[in-house]
A = this chain, B = another copy of it.
Amino acid sequence: MPSATTDRILDAAERRARKGGYNGFSFRDLAEDVGVKSASVHHHFPTKEALVARLAERYTERFMEALEAAVPKEGTLPALRRLFRASLEDDNQMCLCGMLAAESAALPPPVVTETRRFFERLISAVAGPEADTAARQKALSVVAQLEGALLTARVLGDAAAFDAATADLTA
């Protein structure tokens, strides 16, 4: 079973990475957040790339799980809108993988791999099981709109901008 400290390190890393990106936090930041020394963080995650790769993996697992749970009741697009908007409501955070995607050209390969996996899984989920060309195109468009709306509302400091930018995602 995963230690409680491991989870708390990931929690702290997720919060910080969604605020400032991969280079926006340090092992010492995480250590302070959790209440240990930085050497202890290295005990749980030997390198930063291993930590963030695992972080992206956990984020993907949780996001897809939440999406799959919500879709039957809400429908795909409303569920997506709600899940993305929750980031904004929780301290104006970005989608972790949206942030990492923006920085992907400067990230370690294992992190890029996990980030790409998030997008691939999300796009597949939105496109649905049939996955013809038109469905995939629509899915790409929807994911782009959601990620971009988050980014835009965030810099404008205006959560209503997210709603406006995604107002057409209702089907």
Contact = CB atoms under 8 A, between A and B. Distances in A.
Nearest to A18: B105
How many identical chains are in the complex? 2
A151 interface: yes
A1 interface: no
A94 interface: yes
6 contacts: A21-B102, A21-B106, A92-B105, A102-B102, A119-B156, A120-B156
Contacts of A161: 140
Given A21-B23, A106-B20, A148-B147, A140 B165 contact: yes
A104 B167 contact: no
A81 interface: no
A47 interface: no
B148 A151 contact: yes
A6 interface: no
Contact of A116 (B23, B100, B136, B156): B156
A102 B97 CA distance: 11
A149 B94 CA distance: 16
B144 A148 contact: yes
Which of A106, A144, A146, A156 has the most C-beta atoms of chain B within 10 angstroms of its own C-beta? A144
Nearest to A117: B155
